[in-house]
Structure 1
Amino acid sequence: MISSINPTVKAGAILVPGVLLGLMFDIFTPLVYLIFIILVTFAFTDISLKRWLLIFSPFVLFIVSFSWTRMLYTSESFQGGAILFEFWYFQVTTEALMVSISLALRSLCFIALSLLFILTTDSTKLMLSLMQQLKLPPKITYGVLAGYRFLPTFKHELEILRQAHRIRGVGRAKGIKGRLQQFKRYSIPLLANAIRKAERVANAMESKGFTGDRNRTHYHEMKVRRRDWVFFGSMVGALFLTVFMSYYFGYLNIFGREIN
């Protein structure tokens, strides 16, 4: 399962194809790799299709509007080919259409890769892996992890504040001035509670011997195993195989230049 892959190696397996896909301006390469990512997502994870679609679908609507704009306002270097149709004072050519579709597919690949990483990675293991494999300072990693853990409590405290205001007869604010006052009523108590919690966490960490030293032992050791490198090689290798297929069939286009 992908959830057991070392987070640092997994991040590399997501980042490298994402960067290389940004160089591809054809349709074949991102389309085939997008299909590969989707197959990997549902074959080697326990992510439900419904949950994945609920997160993925809003991005599709944004990408469609973005690619439509890209097609209308394409640069002069991508305005070649036959004119497909004219819209107001815009002329949409075959090359502009291909570039916009390629942009949409590349964006979908980025989103699918991001979801594959986010939905299969535990935040605690990610911070531990960054500290042990990439040697990030413990002060940064534990600080980020502590802040991430506080987010659900802030949401709960905000709901308590809202209920307390309703009990005391304070209704929902109207207008810009009222909303600013409401923001002040909410932000000051939340900030005060955050400072108190930060002090308690800092005191607790110091009492447990936390000094921020890099040379320390870990209760949970994150190791890079053979399966991690197999996953990395599979994700990157699949992209290079897709690029080779695109080149073989004459579709490969890098930065607007056809590679035949």
Structure 2
Amino acid sequence: MVSSINPSLKMFTVLIPGIVLGLTYDVFTPLVYLMFILVVTFTMTTIPLLRWLKFFSPFLLIAAGFAWMTMLYTNQAFSGGEVIFRLWMLEVTTGSLQTGLSVGFRSLCFGALSLMFILTTDSTKLMLSLMQQCKLPPKLTYGILAGYRFLPIFRHELKILQQAHRIRGVARARGIKGRVNQFQRYAIPLLANGIRKAERVAIAMESKGFTGDPDRTHYHKMIVGKRDWLFFTLMIGALITVFVLSYHLGYLEIFGRSFG
């Protein structure tokens, strides 16, 4: 399962296809790899389909916007070919259509890869893996993890403040000036509570012997095993296979230059 893969290796496994696909300007390569990502997502993870669609739907709108704007305002180096249709002063050619669709499918690949990483990765294990495998300083990783843990607390405290204001008859602010005043009423108590909590966390960590020494021992040891390398080989191997297939079929284009 993807959720059991080492988070650091999984992060690099997701980053490499995202960077490499950004070099392609054809439709075939990102489209085929997107289909592969979807197969991996729905066969090797336990992400519910409705939850995945809920998070992925904004990427569809963003990709459609990118594709449409790229199609209309394509650089002259990529806008060759026959004119398909005209929109006022703008012409959409076969080249601009291909470039726009390529940008759209690339955006969907980035979104699908990001969701596969985010929805299958535990934040605590990610920080531990970055500290143990990538040798990030413990002060940085534990600081990020502590800040991340504060977010749900701040959300809960914000709801309490809003309910307290309603009980005391403070109406919802209207207009720009009212919004600014309302932000101050919420921000100052939240900031004060955040400072107090940060001090308590710092004292607690010092009392338990945390000094930021990189040569510390770990209760939860993160390792990179055979399953992790198999996942890395699967994702990168599939990417290479798609590029080779695209090259032999004559579709591969990198920065507008055809390699097929």
- In structure 1, the partner of 2:86 is 86
Residue aligned with 1:178, SS = helix
Helix, strand or coil at the partner of 2:102: helix
Report the Cα offset of residue 231 of structure 1: 0.5
Equivalent AA in structure 1 for residue 162 of structure 2 = R
- Aligned match of 1:48: 48
Shift in Å, 1:247: 0.6
Aligned residue for 1:26, secondary structure, equals coil
Separation of aligned partners in 2, 1:82 and 1:170: 63
Cα distance, 1:91 vs structure 2: 0.7
1:212 and 2:212 aligned:
yes
Q: What SS does the aligned partner of 1:24 have?
A: coil
Q: CA deviation at 1:59?
A: 1.4
* CA RMSD of superposed structures (Å): 0.6
1:154-185 per-position Cα deviation (integer Å, ceiling 9, x unaligned): 00000000010011110101111111111100
- How many Å separate the matches in 2 of 1:121 and 1:230? 17
1:171 maps onto 2:171 in alignment = yes
Q: What is the aligned partner in structure 1 of residue 191 from structure 2?
A: 191
TM, length-normalised to structure 2: 0.99
- How many residues align? The count is 260
Amino acid at match of 1:231: F
Counterpart-to-counterpart distance in 2, 1:64 and 1:18: 18
C-alpha distance in 1 between matches for 2:158 and 2:99? 46
2:65 paired with 1:65: yes
Structure 1: gaps of 5 or more residues: none
Question: Does structure 1 retain, via aligned residues, the 8 Å contact 2:59–2:107?
Answer: no
> Structure 2: any 5+ residue segments left out of the alignment?
none
Q: What is the DSSP-based 3-state SS (H/G/I as helix, E as strand, rest coil) of the residue aligned with 1:92?
A: strand
**Secondary structure of residue in 2 paired with 1:173:** coil
Asked if 1:114 is matched to 2:126, the reply is: no
Letter in 1 for 2:180: L
- The letter for the 2-side match of 1:78 is F
Distance (Å, rounded) in 2 between the aligned partners of 1:157 and 1:132? 34
Equivalent AA in structure 1 for residue 73 of structure 2: Y
- CA deviation digits over 1:90-142, x for unaligned, max 9? 01100000000001001100000000000000000000000000000000000
